[in-house]
Amino acid sequence: MAVQTDLQNRTERTLGSSSWIGRLRALDLSSPRHADKLGYILLAPAVLLIFVILVYPILLSVDLSLQDVDIPRIGETREPYTLDNYTKLFGSAEFWRASWVSLKLIVVVTSACFAIGLATALLVNQHFKGRTLARLFVALPWAVPEVIAVVTWWWMFDSSFGLINWLLVTLDLADKPIAWLSQPVPAFLVVSIVMIWKGYPFVSIMLLAGLQAIPEDHYQAAKVDGAGAWQRLFWITLPSLLPVFGVTMILVVLWVFRDFAVVFILTGGGPIGATQTLSMMTYEQAFGFFRMGFASAIGVVTLVICVLATRLMVSRMAKSMY
């Protein structure tokens, strides 16, 4: 013990009392005074990980978007900074058309997902025989892998041999098969239907969780005061669900905005750009035409739009509730 203390004293003398070892030893992380430091140290690995997997690719995209580069290669000399990609992007009719298609898709799919999601959530929140099975069916489309679901829908909407056309013609709802994926309006409709089918269960599950969190007392009190079913829906259920609505809406909007598989598999963005979204355009420019710099510029603009939309929705929903 005496030997150890002597070694310790000699070490401290060698390094000096103000050395980092001394300071580290003086840092008692268990004391309340340094509690915040302990927090930062514990968070550091997670922050580092987020930086590597999230922030670095974003910075790389921004960097690429500011270079006139086709296919960049790691380790090679970078091109000089330029705003050419952004100038070209904002002057491109294709970009504005893709933005318009993305916006239309967001409005149509999000509205429908919320209408169907709320209706199904209210339904399966009721007590009835077979409720568990009903909940399972409501959630089922969410569980089906996206590619499998889209390919199945693609065959159902096939213009020549698809089930939908067969039903329409057999039931005399159409006099001839509809070219679902070769005409602009039907193609947009098909993409919307598939996205709604895939997306509404998520809304339903989220709203169901929100519904179950509303205290039963509120409804009892409203009933005592003579409130009808519609009044209870508009004055208790919907206001109580607003925070859930907010979060869910952000997630659904972001999903629609960046979803790629549905459009890629069903239409590839066609016909004549009727279903070309910003994410499809990004992919096509990057891996179809090998213009990584330009594709990165589209990606960065998409990111900015997503951030602004999220911020806007968070603020609005927060104000509505509180």
Partner 1 sequence: MKSHLTLKAVLAVAAGTGLLLAGAPAQAETLKFISWQVNERGYGDWWNQAIAEFEATHPGVTVELSNVARPEYADTMTTLFASGSPPEIVHLASFEYQKFADNGWLEDLGPWIEQSDLDLTDWAGQDKCVWEGTTNCIMLLYFGFVMAYNERLLSEAGIAVPTTYDEYMAAARALTVDTDGDGIIDQFGIGHHTTAGNQYTHEMLNYILDAGGYWTDSEGKPAMNTPEMIEGLARWKTVLTEGLTPVDMTSNDTRQLFNEERVAMRVDGPWVYGVMRGADPEVFKHLKLAPPPFSPPVGGSSNVITMPSDISQEKKELVWDFIEIVTSEEFQKRFAQEGASPAPRPGAVRDSVYEAVPHFDLLIETQQAAAAAGVDRIPLGLEIQFNEFAKIVRNEVQRMVIEDLDPAEVAARLQTEAEALQ
47: left (phi over 0), alpha (psi -120 to 50) or beta: alpha
For the bound state, the minimum distance from the C-beta of residue 72 to partner 1, rounded and expressed in Å, comes to 6
**SS3 assignment, position 82:** coil
User: Which CB atom, from 73 or from 127, has the smaller least distance to partner 1?
Assistant: 73
Contact flag: residue 180 with partner 1 (CB under 8 A): yes
Type of residue found at 303: L
Shortest spacing between CB 282 and partner 1, in angstroms: 13
Q: Which stretch binds partner 1 (CB under 8 A): 45-53, 64-72, 82-90, 241-249?
A: 64-72
What is the per-residue binding string for partner 1 in 70-89, x denoting contact by CB under 8 A? xxxxxx--------------
Q: In the set 261, 271, 309, 310, which binds partner 1 (CB under 8 A)?
A: 271
With b for 16 or more beta-carbon neighbours within 10 A and e for fewer, the 192-203 pattern comes to bbbbbbbbbbbb
DSSP state of 33: G
* Cα–Cα distance, 216 to 118 (Å, whole number): 18
Smallest gap from residue 56 Cβ to partner 1 (A)? 15
Task: Tell me if 293 contacts partner 1 by CB under 8 A.
Answer: no
Distance CA 65, CA 133 (A): 50
Task: Closer to partner 1 by CB, 114 or 294: give it.
Answer: 294
Alpha-carbon torsion (115, 118, 121, 125), positive or negative: negative
CA distance 81 to 83: 7
Write the interaction track for partner 1 spanning residues 113-152; mark x where CB under 8 A is met and - where it is not. Answer: ----------------------------------------
User: With binding defined as CB under 8 A, does residue 259 bind partner 1?
Assistant: no
CB burial string 169-187: b at 16+ within 10 A, e below: eeeeeeeebbebbebeebb
User: What is the binding site for partner 1 (CB under 8 A)?
Assistant: 70-75, 158-161, 165-166, 169-170, 176-177, 179-184, 267-273, 284, 287-290, 292
